[in-house]
Structure 1
Amino acid sequence: MKWKLTGRYLVSVVLIVVIVIIMNIVVVIGLFILQSVNENLPLLNRQTSAESISRSFQEHIIITESGASISEKGKEILKKKQAWIQILDEDGGEIYRYLAPEKAKTKYAPIDIVQIYKYVEKEVLSTVFVGEKKGFEHRYSYLVGFTTPYLERQVLTFDSRNFAQMFKVFSVSIIIIDGFIALCIAYIFSKRLTKPMFIFIDSIKRLAGRDYNVYHQPKGIYKDVFANINLLSQELKSSEKERKKLDAMKEEWIGNISHDIKTPLASIQGYAEMIKDTEYQFSMDEIRDYAGIIEGKSKYLRDVIEDLNLSTRLRNKELTLNKKNVNIVSLVRNVVIDTLNDPRYANRDIDFSSSHEVIKIEVDDILIRRAISNLIYNAIVHNHEDISIKVHAEKNEESTLIRVEDNGKGIKQEELGRIFDRYYRGTNTGELHKGSGLGMAITHDIVIAHGGSIQVHSTVGQGTVLEIILEPNSAK
């Protein structure tokens, strides 16, 4: 895996470098070709060289029937370049001179012209270039000498048969050297790019293996990636901690609910066996008493099973709400009355009030009744018998609010955020009020399913306030 990533970067960088080198070679060769085809192109800065000036100086030579001369511009060029000129006829005799040294010859044989072109003559102390000018069916030669001591001319001679071979060797050498340099640079570059990727891969493997202790200092071009990996590691660590906490709660809840189910089952089984046993002769009153106990335990088991089923359907959003336009004041009042009619809670202090006599809202009345009943039941089972419970319903411009308030023990801060968790059972629950542990979670899910919210405020030793806030679809 490592070499695959490094190889891909390596190949891409090498290709780029090689393409650039080839393009440079092509451009250089093209420049030389263009310059050789058209000497007037200013590509290699040859227009300012002494040889170029000498070759192009024929433009400034003026040939007439009476003789030869040069233009004023030509004179300016010669003065500027510290040069002189001699114009010769076909026999090598001088017909015009300008700024030429006094010791310069007036008659040149062919060998003299070759000699002065190849070597610096002591008489003129100049580097001389030879040119030709056509005019009136005659050819005129001219000598342009440059007196500057910094100008030198080197004559290059080579065998054209060896030039191609030399060019091949030179080209191959350059390509090998450049290729090696490009390979080294590309390798270093690719290593710098791929090294962080190896760290990414290793980090992902560790996270996949449930090792969430991953942290890297965000730096370099991948600092955002490192920062996201650190964030992911922290979130996974928190999720794993929460999952373990939830699993522990779930196991504890399963143990508690199993124990709570076994107790009524044992009672049902025991009374049923007693009634079934022929050795015992029970009176009708005793049989009715036993049947009542069996019925009560059966209802308890039914309620637990219904809680489990309802909680699962609400959490998985599989329950369809049967909304109706109901008077929430009457609904809450009836819940309070039903609670007080329960013999277990007949002596409890539960007070109901409302801001309006009629508050109409679209809700599933059965589920909302269940949610409010759970809040009241929660206030009862977690407090002493002498507490006061106030239930209030009110309407404002934006929402409908249902409040259940008590002046009981209150809820500890560390438990306040858990009361709506599934499987959580409060520590203050009495032995006579065992349940599924899903009551508050069911209430929360019912309110959320209606698009509302539920809030809890509590102070230890002062009491608890729970509020259901519903956004009405239609209210009157």
Structure 2
Amino acid sequence: MIRRRFAVRFAWQMAVTGVMLAVLAIIIVIWMLKKFEDIEISRNFAPMGISRLISEADIDSNGLIVNSVLLQRLKEDGGWLQSLDEKGNVLQSFNTPNDLPARYVPGQLIDYWLGNEPFPYRLGLWIQEKDKHLYTMLYGERSTKVDLMQRLIADGKIMDDQIQFSNSTIVQLDQMGSWVQVLDREGVEVASWRKPGNTPSSYTLQELAMRTHNQALDGLGMDTQYDPITGLTWAVQYPMDITKNQAARIPMLNSESGVMIFGIGAFLLSAFVLFILLSLWYANRFGSPVLYILNWIQRLGKGDYSEHVRANNERRNRKGDWKRGYRIFGEVMDSIDSLAIELRTAKDAEEQTQRNREEWIAGVTHDMKTPLSSIQGYAHMLEAEKYSWSEEEVRQFASTILEKTVYMNKLINDLTLTYRLRNGVIPVTFEELDICVLLSESVVLATSHLQYEGSQIRCITPSTSIMAAVYPPWFERVVDNIIANAIFHNSSGTGMIIELIEMPEKGWRIDFRDDGQGMDPQTIARLFDRYYRGTNTDSSIEGSGLGMVITKELVQAMGGRIAVSSQVGEGTVISTIYTGA
């Protein structure tokens, strides 16, 4: 059972952990796909950004697009967007410059889009349907490099071999840390602005091509623009490591790789944290009960059996079940709890047995010492030379000595019998007899004793025979012992009714009911203890103090059991019950 519970518990927990990892992986993958899409949009707003703008945007009652987040991305991208109707009219404009028309002639727009006619912006045309409405989006952007070169050509003035710019252009060039050169048709410098001393004054065709194509050559970037009106070429150079905007555009890893590395790292880190938390949870959930059980077993090994009491109080809920953290080890802890109770009971029984043994030894010693003292006393009297005893006195001394030796012999025989009965070493043969006849004969034999005179003893048997297998000497000894116990320990004239009853379900029983003084619960509890009631041999030599012990052993040896019911002042009922089992 516990193996199955462990298997189910661990399988369930592993499944939950797997589901958590799967959910975590799905979340990270969704995040990575979203980042990939954002990267692609940032690199090329058209067409992905436009398509996403249309598909995710809200549409108002006039059919206009509302999406502030993607429009902000459009502004960051540096582009603009116009929504056109089927006739080319502009319905909406987003981040548009002032030089754009409010209406496009359809044929002319196609020429702009295909590059057949000059247009100051690079155009993208996107047509998409949403909510049964066809949206036509015109996307445009202007290169910052083109804008800068056009501004330099328009704003720059060549005077001798120097170039003069307006303050706003100088501010822009200073932000880039750049310098400017103007070259003639042969690539020779005509004029310059803030040119460092190590900068070449002329460039071949190959050098210009390599510098403009490889932006990181010598750590310098170069942009050029040819002016067809003057036939001059304007070139601007800037250090790549100083231009913050340019440096930010060259990461150590491309964006997709960075996202993948971050996503995989986040998954591994999350999985590691999850397993750490799971390990701590396992240690707390399973480690604490295991340590508790081990400490409990160590206490049992040291003889401390009181832990089960504290366990019942602290480790169980109000319903008596083990608390949640200990429930999986319920069978183990119940077994240890039962073992602790049994060990405690055994220890108490051992202590009680030791006390009974000491009392029994003290009682036997007393009862053997008393007749021995009498025998020793009379022997000294017979041995004394200064006394001359008559024949009658000698006979009286001998009679007393004989009585004491008979008592000691009976005591020793009873001790031997109880030992042999307890260990089952008496080979006897049971006989199938009529219990009615056997009981009547045993009562007559027991009551023939002279000391029973004055006692009212009556035997009642059923009219029909009750056949059972018994050993007659033992049966007679049981009847004799119970009658003697009732007569000797009650006042003179005590009456007793002995009744044989056939039980309706199975078996039979004999009730020995007296009207004596009765017994208290303590006496009943110890009635069958060895030598619990020591008799004074001066007053009676009939009892050895083992009568009821022998009675119980004989009844059990014949397959029965004995029960006692008594109250002080109301008499006692001792029943011997035989079920035949």
Decide: shared fold, TM above 0.5. Answer: yes
Structure 2 counterpart of 1:190: 283
When the two structures are superposed, what TM-score results if normalisation uses the length of structure 2?
A: 0.52
Secondary structure at 1:350 match in 2: strand
Alpha-carbon contact 2:24-2:267 (below 8 Å) kept: no
Larger gyration radius, structure 1 or structure 2: 2
Q: 1:20 to 1:427 in 2, by over 3 A?
A: farther
Q: Distance in 1 between matches of 2:468 and 2:24?
A: 84
Q: Distance in 1 between matches of 2:270 and 2:326?
A: 36
Structure 2 counterpart of 1:400: 508
Once the two structures are superposed, residues 142-173 of structure 1 have per-residue CA deviations (whole angstroms, 9 ceiling, x without a partner) of xx976499xxxxxx999989976875575345
1:463 aligns with 2:571: yes
Q: 1:183 to 1:328 in 2, by over 3 A?
A: same
Secondary structure at 1:437 match in 2: coil
Structure 2 counterpart of 1:333: 440
Alpha-carbon contact 2:407-2:541 (below 8 Å) kept: no
Structure 1 counterpart of 2:366: 259
Q: Which amino acid aligns with 1:178?
A: A
* TM-aligned CA deviation for residue 302 of structure 1: 2.8
Q: Which amino acid aligns with 2:459?
A: F
Structure 1 counterpart of 2:557: 449
Q: Distance in 2 between matches of 1:356 and 1:430?
A: 44
Q: Which amino acid aligns with 2:498?
A: V
Q: 1:388 to 1:376 in 2, by over 3 A?
A: same
Structure 1 counterpart of 2:354: 247
Q: Which of residues 179, 182, 194 in structure 1 aligns to 2:272?
A: 179
Alpha-carbon contact 1:381-1:433 (below 8 Å) kept: no
Alpha-carbon contact 1:340-1:347 (below 8 Å) kept: no
Secondary structure at 2:517 match in 1: coil
Q: Distance in 1 between matches of 2:426 and 2:112?
A: 120
Alpha-carbon contact 1:356-1:395 (below 8 Å) kept: no
The equivalences for 1:276-355 within 5 A come to 289-320=396-427, 322-355=429-462
Q: Distance in 2 between matches of 1:312 and 1:403?
A: 27
Over the residues paired in the alignment, what is the CA RMSD in angstroms? 5.2
Q: Which of residues 478, 483, 490 in structure 2 aligns to 1:383?
A: 490
Q: Distance in 1 between matches of 2:477 and 2:122?
A: 119
Secondary structure at 1:332 match in 2: helix
Q: 1:453 to 1:30 in 2, by over 3 A?
A: same
Q: Which amino acid aligns with 2:550?
A: I
Q: 1:283 to 1:342 in 2, by over 3 A?
A: farther
Q: 1:358 to 1:188 in 2, by over 3 A?
A: closer
The equivalences for 1:16-415 within 5 A come to 103=104, 104=106, 105-106=109-110, 121=124, 126=126, 147=137, 167=260, 171-172=264-265, 174-214=267-307, 215=310, 216-217=313-314, 218-219=316-317, 220-222=323-325, 225=330, 240-241=347-348, 243-271=350-378, 289-320=396-427, 322-356=429-463, 358-395=465-502, 397=504, 398-415=506-523
Q: Distance in 2 between matches of 1:393 and 1:340?
A: 17
Q: Distance in 2 between matches of 1:261 and 1:278?
A: 28
Q: Distance in 2 between matches of 1:328 and 1:388?
A: 23
- Structure 1 unmatched runs, 5+: 1-10, 33-49, 55-79, 83-97, 129-143, 150-155
Secondary structure at 2:476 match in 1: helix
Q: Which amino acid aligns with 2:284?
A: K
Q: Which amino acid aligns with 1:221?
A: R
* TM-aligned CA deviation for residue 175 of structure 1: 1.8
Once the two structures are superposed, residues 26-65 of structure 1 have per-residue CA deviations (whole angstroms, 9 ceiling, x without a partner) of 8899999xxxxxxxxxxxxxxxxx87xx9xxxxxxxxxxx
1:416 aligns with 2:524: yes
Aligned length: 384
Secondary structure at 1:341 match in 2: coil
Q: Distance in 2 between matches of 1:179 and 1:205?
A: 36
Secondary structure at 1:405 match in 2: strand
Q: Distance in 1 between matches of 2:15 and 2:501?
A: 75
Q: Distance in 1 between matches of 2:419 and 2:86?
A: 113
* TM-aligned CA deviation for residue 352 of structure 1: 3.0
Once the two structures are superposed, residues 107-156 of structure 1 have per-residue CA deviations (whole angstroms, 9 ceiling, x without a partner) of 588768xx9xx9764xx5x478xxxxxxxxxxxxxxx976499xxxxxx9
Alpha-carbon contact 2:446-2:479 (below 8 Å) kept: no
Q: Which amino acid aligns with 2:579?
A: E
- Structure 2 unmatched runs, 5+: 1-9, 32-46, 52-62, 66-84, 90-103, 129-133, 140-248, 318-322
Alpha-carbon contact 1:18-1:179 (below 8 Å) kept: no
Structure 1 counterpart of 2:94: none
Alpha-carbon contact 2:456-2:495 (below 8 Å) kept: yes
Q: Relative contact order, CA 8 A, sep 6+: which one is greater? A: 1
Q: Percentage identity across aligned positions? A: 27
Q: Which amino acid aligns with 2:298?
A: K
Alpha-carbon contact 1:382-1:426 (below 8 Å) kept: no
Secondary structure at 1:408 match in 2: coil
Q: 1:434 to 1:366 in 2, by over 3 A?
A: closer
Q: Which amino acid aligns with 2:528?
A: F
Once the two structures are superposed, residues 260-305 of structure 1 have per-residue CA deviations (whole angstroms, 9 ceiling, x without a partner) of 1122233344555666778877676666554444443333223223
